[in-house]
Structure 1
Amino acid sequence: MKQVAFAVAFVFLTIISVAQDKTVQELRKESGKSITKDDKDTVAKTWKTGGMFNGTVGQTSLSNWAAGGDQFSFNANGLLSLYAFYKKGIHSWDNSIDMELGYINSTSLGTRKTNDRLDIISKYGCQLFDHMYLTGLFNFRSQFTEGYTYPNDTTRIKQSTFLAPAYVIVALGMDWKPSPTFSLFLSPITSRWVIVRDDSLSAKGAYGVDTGRTSRNEIGAYLTATVNREIIKNLTYKAKLDLFSNYKHNPQNIDLFMTNLLSMNVYKGFSFNLGADLIYDDDVRTFGKEKNAPRLQVRQFIGIGYQRKF
């Protein structure tokens, strides 16, 4: 099952991204051009910065409703994506940060988290030939707040928090950029740290970290692909795919992390959003009848909200 999910995710991401288009990511290409601020200033600008904010909200209330349901429910989700791209000669430096947080509040269940992500990427590359860069990569991924599972309406079990888990990746490899909207990075030797800086989770040996320890180092192969392109006018697709194989332990069980966001600008910033996130981590063994097996984790959402690019 997980092999099929990996193949489908990667093929879909690669096919949709290779074509050229006119999107915000074209600033990478433009950033290599020399732009002077005025006649007296000849210092070339080689940076381009910007980002996107996407917020969605929803609310439902019932009064004397015979069909039943919660008297009140409210949900909100926010995504802030920022970038800073540098290009001068054969050198490039791409930096991005994605921050996402979502909650739902209902009469019967109270407030629960629906989404929580902090993802930072920095890549420095030296161009070898057309579209190919020798690149060093740093990636940090974690979350902002505590997360729980709910066996029943009155019980909750802590599953995560800031830096528990967190993933730090340092890699050297090749970065292929066939268009300004697509990047494919591959490293055969990558160092990854899994961090669990929470006493209760560390004591349980959560996320594959040895019981009582706060981190675990893994050496393996790493692939990451990113795309941000306008499919047609006002319809944008943004995605990221990470694959990691740990040489030290079960290298055939590849960890997967993928985010997808399809956004259509409906009218003056108001947008329709369709998203899906996929995660498979062989060390997250909290599923199945015995609560000791990994599973493909899936999150999908549909919403109408406000989107602003800057």
Structure 2
Amino acid sequence: MYNLKKKRKMKRLVWVLVVVFSVTTVYAQDDQGYKDGEWVLSGVTGVNLSQTAMTNWSAGGENSVAGNAYLNGSLLRKSGNWLWQNALVLDYGLSQNKSDGTRKTNDNINFTTQLGYSTNNKWFYTLMGDFKTQFARGYKYPDRENYISTFMAPAYANLSLGMEFRPKANYSIYLSPVSGKMTFVSDKTLSDSGAFGVDPGKRFKAEFGAYLKARAEQAVMENVNLVTTLDFFTPYSDQLGNIDVNWDVLISMKVNKFLSATLNTTLKYDNDVKTVDGEGNRKGAKVQFKEVLGVGIAYHF
């Protein structure tokens, strides 16, 4: 049994390393730089809308409307041997039709700040902190009575000390052997049920482990930009080798001066977040995936 578990952990670790290698190979070739003493601001923000209207439509269907607002940006400044970077991701979306009413389709708050010191402009001794949560309550539709998440339930914070490799302003890989992951479940109903890995009745869980983060911004081709962030965490405990994964990808495609199409995907795996079947029974953790495709107004900066 021990060998079987060990093999599963090793396979998962190999998969993670393959993903990291793929990402770093793609983005290491970019030649964008930054100048000492200047702020570098980059990113994209916009609103995507979709609408369907029907009148006496023989094939069936109903009127619907959906919208999503988003921001994905970074701000950094290099001063001498010091480098300070901040990254912010905000997403919120809703859809509405007669049968289902109003439903939330997207909800994300993600902020990262880090301070690094270097002697060669590429390797930085870095202190990093990040925070993740959501804006509003989430439901397992069609159940609208019992919410399964809300603002600060869950919320994740990570404070770590490590080394960052940053050959260019828009590409970095950070590795920390000294990282603390904190899980917050501020809602009493959810904490009492032991949601998101906290002990029932507790609203906080702390883990100590290793952390890796990769981020890249790339002009894939003319009018097509990509921003991706990849996070890994494994605790120094009996769960060592169970790797929490969070991979965000935003592809923005400029149609003309005003219109843009965006593709936003998120892949997650957290061993502490158990799935629930249709009868309310808790099952094991599973890979989570979300994809949002939209057309709307976007501003690149």
Fold agreement, TM-score > 0.5: yes
Q: What is the aligned partner in structure 2 of residue 213 from structure 1?
A: 202
| 1:62 has 2:54 as partner | yes
Task: Select 1:131's aligned residue among 122, 125, 134.
Answer: 122
Give yes or no for contact 2:40–2:77 (8 Å, CA) kept in 1: yes
Give yes or no for contact 1:287–1:295 (8 Å, CA) kept in 2: no
Task: Select 2:138's aligned residue among 143, 147, 158.
Answer: 147
Give yes or no for contact 2:81–2:121 (8 Å, CA) kept in 1: no
Give yes or no for contact 1:287–1:294 (8 Å, CA) kept in 2: no
SS in structure 2 of the partner of residue 129 of structure 1: coil
| 1:18 has 2:28 as partner | yes
Q: Distance in 2 between matches of 1:173 and 1:154?
A: 43
Q: Distance in 1 between matches of 2:101 and 2:57?
A: 20
SS in structure 1 of the partner of residue 152 of structure 2: coil
Residue identity opposite 1:56 in structure 2: N
Q: What is the aligned partner in structure 2 of residue 40 from structure 1?
A: none
Q: What is the aligned partner in structure 1 of residue 211 from structure 2?
A: 222
Q: What is the aligned partner in structure 1 of residue 5 from structure 2?
A: none
Q: Distance in 1 between matches of 2:195 and 2:155?
A: 12
Q: Distance in 2 between matches of 1:278 and 1:7?
A: 15
| 1:104 has 2:114 as partner | no
| More displaced 10-residue stretch of structure 1: 98-107 or 198-207 | 98-107
Give yes or no for contact 1:134–1:174 (8 Å, CA) kept in 2: yes
Residue identity opposite 1:211 in structure 2: P
Q: Distance in 2 between matches of 1:231 and 1:154?
A: 41
Q: CA deviation at 1:86?
A: 1.6
Gaps of 5+ in 2: 1-7
Q: Report how many aligned residue pairs link the two structures.
A: 289
| TM-score (norm. length: structure 2) | 0.90
| 1:168 has 2:178 as partner | no
SS in structure 2 of the partner of residue 252 of structure 1: coil
Q: Distance in 2 between matches of 1:155 and 1:135?
A: 44
Q: Distance in 2 between matches of 1:211 and 1:237?
A: 40
The 4+ residue runs of structure 1 with deviation greater than 6 A are none
Give yes or no for contact 2:191–2:200 (8 Å, CA) kept in 1: yes
Q: Distance in 2 between matches of 1:249 and 1:205?
A: 20
Residue identity opposite 1:170 in structure 2: L
| TM-score (norm. length: structure 1) | 0.87
Q: What is the aligned partner in structure 1 of residue 242 from structure 2?
A: 253
Distance 1:127 1:285, change over 3 A: same
Distance 1:273 1:21, change over 3 A: farther
Gaps of 5+ in 1: 33-44
Give yes or no for contact 1:19–1:179 (8 Å, CA) kept in 2: no
Task: Select 2:77's aligned residue among 86, 89, 103.
Answer: 86
Give yes or no for contact 1:103–1:111 (8 Å, CA) kept in 2: yes
Alignment of structure 1 residues 281-292 onto 2, 5 Å: 281-287=270-276, 290-292=281-283
Q: CA deviation at 1:260?
A: 0.5
In the TM superposition, what whole-angstrom CA distance separates every residue of 1:175-224 from its partner, at most 9, and x where no partner exists? 00122221100001101110000000000000111111110000010001
Residue identity opposite 2:23 in structure 1: L
Q: Distance in 1 between matches of 2:293 and 2:85?
A: 30
Q: What is the aligned partner in structure 1 of residue 189 from structure 2?
A: 200
